[in-house]
Structure 1
Amino acid sequence: MAAHQMSASELADAVNEAIGTLTGKTGSTSERTVFRWLSGENRWPQARQRRALENVCGLPVTALGFVPRGKSTRAALPEDPDMRRRRLFGAAAGTTAAAISLAPPPAPHPSRVGTSDVIRLRDDVERLLAVDAERGGHGLEQAALAGASEALRLQKESATQRVRQRLYALAADFTATAAWSLIDAGRLDMAGRHLERALALAGLAQDSEIALQVWNLRAMLARQRRDYLEAVASSQAAQTTAITRRSPLHASLAYARTAVGLAHAGEARAALRCLGRAENALAKADPAQPRSSWIAFYGLAELHSLTAIVRDVVGHPAHAEAASHRALAALPDAYRRNRAYTTARLALAQLHQGDVEQACATSGKVFEIMAGMPLPGRMRLLLGDFQRDLLAQAPAALAHEWTDHYRTEWSSS
């Protein structure tokens, strides 16, 4: 319930909708029933409720904390297609760009648009983000925009204000994901248009967390365009969102993003002060607290990675190298693209200390990490910065050897 931001009443409604899909007759689960589940008073719901709970949550009922009474058998109810899709979710995360598509909406049924539709679309957002973590966001734009269109279509049919707002928030989330896909691919012009649309949708949703997500991406986009003043302004706008006042995690990200912009703008002292605020805020965040999928990437590893960028830009390459090593040590295995990007930053920090041979060896690991996947445009740009600095600092023979060695992998990836 915390992960899906659902009240007891909303969970009861979603279970009743799922029962209606399974049996043709809407269920009668009440808010009081949900409270009995939460308290442990009822440790094994009715068969139809168990199946409905599995379909709503995408998890076996025993994984939700329920305990069978003696030797229990499942009711022979038809399997819901959404449940099958959720069980296949992990396998879908490794799909290639050409195969990415969202699951089709369920067949129409008499029940109104409600919480179960919100959960179904949120699952689709999570699927896209899992693909992004594995190989990068490039190639996800069309699937994300399709999800936004579906959310807006359902919003027109929704019966309650809360569900309408959550569908607007999902449309904003999908649209921001489409923008991120283009930013990661280095296609910046259209990304800006998507972010303008996402910010408007976040306003309609009255969702400050989605607004922060969009401002964070706008700061990244501005930095890619080398418009560092706009990057700072966007990240400072992220700091003013309501979510940062109640969530140290979100505040930390906003401060860290501001630090990156200030470093590029030549404001070294201000950048380091913002980094300190980001560290202090993250130390107050509860790692066990459920969080939205879009910010799942942010934690100690990402803060170390952003610290490496700031330190390198302000002229502290040794500190940047240390931060990069800390980031790589803390980074979860699932974040393959982030590992490759941080490795490229590590190579730059080594190069800026004059350790040319080690930097060349480290940069080669980027291609090993991303083997079998195309390099995102953003990573290509970073490797381009590495090549430029290598040509400027290293002996000509060594620089040309690096270029010749990786030219094929760089151009074909």
Structure 2
Amino acid sequence: MEGNANLAGAMREAGFTQAQLAQAVNEYLCLHGYDGTVSDRTVRNWLSGRTRWPHPRQREALETVFGCTAQGLGFSPPPAIPPTTEPESPVRRRNFLTATTGTAAAVVVPITDSRPAAVGTSDVIRLRSGLDALMDLDRARGGHEGMERAALAGASEAIAKQRHAASQRIRQRLFSVAANYTATAAWSAIDARQLDRAQRFLDRALYLAGMAKDPVAELRAWNSYAMLAHQRDQFAEAVDAGYAAQATTMARREPFYNSLAHARTAVAHANLRDRRAAIRSLGYAEEALAKASQEEPRPSWVSFYGVAELCAIQAIVRDRIGDAAESEAASHRALAMLPKHFRRNRGLATTRLALAQLHQGEVEQACATAATVFELMAGNPIPGRMRSLLGDYYRDLISLAPDAAVAQEWGDRFRSEWSRA
């Protein structure tokens, strides 16, 4: 007996175990007023091919959960049974209907189901693909109002589909999608330096992550809280947010996420000038990242993090605690590994490199390095967070070398680019 490879593949893609699929089908049936009698054994019969054509209500539930036809899921209807009697004459049937008192006319009017189609796995997958597109935009251009609006629209669509979800599992997955869209809007606001809006979005994202029971979305929100606190110079709050990220289920379970949480905490410690704690957190981040699997599939929002980004974070930490030479070396390592299409990240790392050079007294080299940021971001407005960092560079430049000709030239270029952006 041949197994049902189509159904097995659909279950893998959706992340269903046999028990979870049985639960999803039963939830759909109960939602529509039927008893949920599907068990693990029922699903095994579907997978083994023992049951080739499920009950009509079960087929309807399966089609809704997976967003495709029963045939697309590998099921096949039984062959048609030929009629054993001569078909009724259309003329005879028409004469019978017209001979009645009118009740037959009411019977033959088709009854339409006005209920909206239930939302299933295919809808969740479609919504998630929009998140990937926004992350591609972020890597190239950085946060901006258009990206923020698109993210909020995605979150609204996910929430609107809640009322038509085929099962409680689908409802939770929609909450997860909404949490990630809202966190994307928050991140875009942080990158654009719209910090009050970012705070509101993060509060909402954390609530939605809790409703979704999604530890990755929860960690994402705390990671962004730490960055928001950093942008507001609330460094003690940034440490607290870093600790909250470390305490999430995903950070405790997965070295990759544990590394990100410790790296973010290291920046907060460095901003408080707590050298020992900052270096200790960096060490934890490096150890955890070395243990992380490189093959594990992860959401697109976290694709920025890896060895290159950790080097960029090391550059920030080292510069903050006064190790400018080590910061310069870390920046060079980061730029050697950051992908070319991560334009915003490369721009930030380049500005950090210029700061490290400036803090070592290499004014001309630092100005030449900082000027390349404008070429790197040509064609797009400079995101608010990068503009702020370039402003930090300019303030340090005029403080350390106010009379240098190269400093005055760079200042003119900076003001020109600031106006353009």
The code of the aligned residue for 2:16 comes to S
Instruction: Tell me the residue number matched to 1:411.
Output: 419
Distance in 2 of aligned mates of 1:295 and 1:182: 17
SS in 2 for 1:334: coil
Deviation at 1:109, TM superposition (A): 9.6
The answer as to whether partners of 2:11 and 2:17 remain within 8 angstroms in 1 is no
1:359-412, Cα deviation, whole Å (9 max, x unpaired): 000001101110000000000000000000000112513321211133212220
Instruction: Tell me the residue number matched to 2:127.
Output: 121
Q: How does 1:268-347 map to 2 (within 5 A)?
A: 268-347=275-354
Change (3 A) 1:296 1:400: same
Instruction: Tell me the residue number matched to 1:208.
Output: 215
Deviation at 1:334, TM superposition (A): 2.0
The code of the aligned residue for 2:302 comes to I
1:330-357, Cα deviation, whole Å (9 max, x unpaired): 1112211101111011100110011111
The answer as to whether partners of 1:3 and 1:291 remain within 8 angstroms in 2 is no
Instruction: Tell me the residue number matched to 1:149.
Output: 156
Distance in 2 of aligned mates of 1:2 and 1:377: 43
1:246 aligns with 2:221: no
Distance in 2 of aligned mates of 1:118 and 1:229: 38
Structure 1 stretch displaced more, 393-402 or 319-328: 393-402
The code of the aligned residue for 2:261 comes to A
Structure 1 stretch displaced more, 192-201 or 133-142: 133-142
1:6 counterpart (15, 33, 39): 15
The answer as to whether partners of 2:158 and 2:178 remain within 8 angstroms in 1 is yes
Distance in 2 of aligned mates of 1:159 and 1:195: 28
1:242-281, Cα deviation, whole Å (9 max, x unpaired): 0012110100000000000000012111000000000000
Distance in 2 of aligned mates of 1:364 and 1:31: 62
The answer as to whether partners of 1:229 and 1:261 remain within 8 angstroms in 2 is yes
The answer as to whether partners of 2:355 and 2:393 remain within 8 angstroms in 1 is yes
Instruction: Tell me the residue number matched to 1:180.
Output: 187
2:228 counterpart (188, 212, 221): 221
Change (3 A) 1:3 1:172: farther
Change (3 A) 1:367 1:56: farther
The code of the aligned residue for 2:133 comes to R
Deviation at 1:110, TM superposition (A): 6.5
Distance in 1 of aligned mates of 2:267 and 2:130: 31
The answer as to whether partners of 1:11 and 1:34 remain within 8 angstroms in 2 is no
1:368 aligns with 2:375: yes
SS in 2 for 1:333: coil
SS in 2 for 1:286: coil
Instruction: Tell me the residue number matched to 2:409.
Output: 401
Change (3 A) 1:34 1:119: farther
- Consecutive unaligned residues of structure 1, counting only runs of 5 or more, are 15-29, 37-51, 58-107
1:132 aligns with 2:138: yes
Identical columns (%)? 56
Change (3 A) 1:361 1:202: same
Change (3 A) 1:177 1:2: farther
Instruction: Tell me the residue number matched to 2:60.
Output: none
Deviation at 1:159, TM superposition (A): 2.4
Change (3 A) 1:152 1:267: same
Instruction: Tell me the residue number matched to 2:392.
Output: 385
Distance in 2 of aligned mates of 1:411 and 1:197: 34
1:141-192, Cα deviation, whole Å (9 max, x unpaired): 1111111110001112112111111110111101111111111001111110
The answer as to whether partners of 2:215 and 2:250 remain within 8 angstroms in 1 is yes
SS in 2 for 1:287: coil
1:47-83, Cα deviation, whole Å (9 max, x unpaired): xxxxx9xx989xxxxxxxxxxxxxxxxxxxxxxxxxx
Instruction: Tell me the residue number matched to 2:269.
Output: 262
Per the normalisation by structure 2, the TM-score is 0.74
- Consecutive unaligned residues of structure 2, counting only runs of 5 or more, are 1-9, 26-41, 49-62, 69-113
Instruction: Tell me the residue number matched to 1:112.
Output: 118
Structure 1 stretch displaced more, 251-260 or 150-159: 150-159
Change (3 A) 1:334 1:287: same
The answer as to whether partners of 1:350 and 1:358 remain within 8 angstroms in 2 is yes
Instruction: Tell me the residue number matched to 1:49.
Output: none
1:9-56, Cα deviation, whole Å (9 max, x unpaired): 689999xxxxxxxxxxxxxxx9669979xxxxxxxxxxxxxxx9xx98
Distance in 2 of aligned mates of 1:232 and 1:200: 21
Deviation at 1:208, TM superposition (A): 1.1
Structure 1 stretch displaced more, 376-385 or 288-297: 288-297
Change (3 A) 1:35 1:387: farther
Distance in 1 of aligned mates of 2:130 and 2:43: 27
The answer as to whether partners of 1:8 and 1:31 remain within 8 angstroms in 2 is no
Distance in 1 of aligned mates of 2:390 and 2:216: 32
Distance in 2 of aligned mates of 1:128 and 1:404: 34
